[in-house]
Amino acid sequence: NFDIAMIDLERKEVYEVLQAAQSVGIFQLEGSGMQSLLKKLKPSRFEDIIAVVALFRPGPLGSGMVDDFIERKHGRQDIVYEHPSLADILSDTYGIILYQEQVQKIAATLANYSLGEADLLRRAMGKKKPEEMAKQKSRFISGSKENNVDDKVADDLFELMAKFAAYGFNKSHSAAYGLVSYQTAYLKTFFTEQFMAAIMTCDLDNTEKLVRYTEECRRLRFKILAPNIN
């Protein structure tokens, strides 16, 4: 009566497997670059898995954003919020604007954007058209003024949002991927033999993957038996 939809998303044992980067066969998390990121980041909650999927892209990796995320998660770098109301919006990502939805929420909270307007802002930041950006900046600062946000703070925050928007990822997409990552990690943690047998069966025609999975079985001290007509 096992139900994958009912599993606990905060099982310590699953996070221990991920922290050790024993992620062969785990959806989205099995590449060597991703394993290196897992070792440094050491995810300890479901929000961290969502973030890992969003962070492992050329933009964030090349910008230093990933290093900042890791340092802040482990308390080695201060988390600073440009405005107190950002704490609720950015606490899950340690003060870093990682998701497009965060850009929209900041605009709605600080500058009274409607959700439709916030989506237009997200798109404008993604495309970086100077005229559109100038219009949006003026709108953002005037909207922030209504909430007694200092012009300099609003200006700095807009520039910060524009910088991060270049690397912003869609959180709903990342969360959906992250859920499947956690589910496969859960199966590998608690049903290891069945999981390894299943993924090897699924990739029967992929020699490269089979070799990697065979090596993982050896690491796990599982015997792989030769075909037997009986």
Answer positive or negative: Cα dihedral of 179, 183, 219, 28.
negative
Coil, strand, or helix at residue 169? strand
> Which residue pairs, CB below 8 angstroms and at least 24 apart, start in 197-206?
199/25
Cα torsion angle, 66, 59, 180, 200, sign: negative
pLDDT by residue, tens only, the chain of 230 residues: 899 999 999 999 999 999 999 999 999 999 999 999 999 999 999 999 999 999 999 889 988 899 999 999 999 999 989 899 999 999 999 999 999 999 999 999 999 999 999 999 988 888 877 888 899 999 999 999 999 999 999 999 999 888 887 788 999 999 999 999 999 999 999 999 999 999 999 999 999 999 999 999 999 999 998 889 98
Of 101, 37, 47, 41, nearest to 73 by C-alpha is 41
pTM score: 0.89
Q: What does the buried/exposed string (b/e) look like for 168-206 if buried means 16 or more CB atoms within 10 Å of the residue's CB?
A: bbebeebbebbbebbbbbbbbbeebeebbeebbeeeeee
